[in-house]
Amino acid sequence: MNELSVPAANWIENAATLFGLGRIGFAPGTLGSLVALPIAWLVMRFGGVFGLLGLCAATSILALWASDRYARSRETHDPSECIIDEVAGQFLACALSPLSITGFAAAFVLFRLFDISKLWPISAVERIQGGAGIVGDDLIAGLMAGAVTAIFATAGFL
């Protein structure tokens, strides 16, 4: 295991695992997505789409750094307990969705389906080493989920 200073390791670990929520044994990625939903709702409600996109960008930058450092310290490619990447991806999916219960529910379900299934191009991005692969696959899944949700909303299905 690569050694980090204790304060730095704690900060990186807390950011990457959302203060340990990622260590809950069952479906940590889904938990990360669920945590993102009420935050996304509030930010979109009061800050609009651009506010949520800004939060997504900031979360993505933090996630790139923290997940890369955390994965290297654990000597693994994409540790399951690292769930800040799911938050960033869910924020993106929600930013492209209508601010409604059905819009956010569709964004959540589609994001989880795309993230879990690892369809192309998600699977290709996931193979990139380090934080770019860890976060990139979730951002692509979020983009795909948000696009499908937006199409459904435009067609009148949501």
Whole-number Å distance between alpha carbons of 72 and 115: 22
Is residue 116 a part of any domain in this protein?
yes
Average pLDDT over residues 60-73: 91
The torsion defined by the Cα of 136, 83, 108 and 57, in degrees rounded to 10, comes to -50
Is residue 73 a part of any domain in this protein?
yes
- The candidate with the shortest Cα–Cα distance to 46, out of 55, 36, 57, 59, is 55
Print the domain residue range for 41: 6-154
Is residue 88 a part of any domain in this protein?
yes
Task: For residue range 19-36, list pLDDT tens digits in order.
Answer: 888 888 789 989 999 999
Domain count, the chain: 1
Alpha-carbon distance values, 83 to 30, 38, 45, 48, 121 (Å): 9, 16, 24, 24, 20
What's the confidence (pLDDT) of residue 1? 46
Task: For residue range 113-124, list pLDDT tens digits in order.
Answer: 999 999 999 989
Is residue 74 a part of any domain in this protein?
yes
Average pLDDT over residues 53-73: 93
Is residue 1 a part of any domain in this protein?
no
The pTM is what? Answer: 0.91
